[in-house]
Copies of this chain bind each other. A is one copy, B any other.
Amino acid sequence: MTISMYNASVPVFKQMLASMSHVLAKAEVHSKEKKIDPAVFLQARLYPDMLPLVRQVQIAADFAKGVSARLANVEVPTHEDNEQSFADLQARISSTLAFIESLNQAQFEGAAAREVILRPGTPKEKKFTGLAYLCSYGLPQFFFHVTTTYAILRHNGVEIGKGDFMGL
């Protein structure tokens, strides 16, 4: 019994991007109710040399689009990383979701065995099979940033729980 590379990637990204949008929406409501400048949340970190919330969201969205695009063998869409508000972050997530939803099962044919090369021609070049790229690299990276987004908000008092994270 096997599963398709599409089923192991696109629905997971969709579920967790929707959950990230949901916890950010709760954070925005919280910031309004408590009269806290939204920038406090967007720039919040768990430690001084960790990335702030806004970067966690951008990078999570980047992994969702980058992994999906490379497995589907299409160009990775670019984003400017200029988000400065909750609304901007929601737009970034929506745009990422729209891209992922534009992909179809057939584009993932052969993706498990296809060679994926990150940063080709640079000293940081990395080569994977599509399977390893998804399971041992893409999903761990993606979940790292989605969970860290949640953790930063939770640490800063936003009332969210595991159900909000799971997005089920």
Binding site for B on A (CB under 8 A): 1-5, 7-8, 11-12, 15-16, 46-47, 50, 108-113, 131, 135-137, 139-141, 143-144, 147-148, 150-151, 154-155, 157, 162, 165-166, 168
Contacts and interface: CB of A to CB of B under 8 A. Distances in A.
Contact of A155 (B4, B47, B157): B47
Nearest to A113: B1
Interface of A is mostly: helix
Copies of this protein, total: 2
A111 B1 contact: yes
17 contacts: A1-B5, A1-B111, A1-B113, A2-B3, A2-B4, A2-B112, A11-B136, A15-B136, A136-B168, A139-B139, A139-B143, A140-B165, A143-B143, A144-B165, A147-B148, A147-B151, A151-B151
B165 A16 contact: no
Nearest to A142: B143
Contacts of A112: 1-3
Contacts of A3: 2-5, 8, 112, 131, 135
B7 A135 contact: yes
Given A1-B112, A7-B135, A8-B8, A166 B154 contact: no
A138 to B, nearest CB: 11
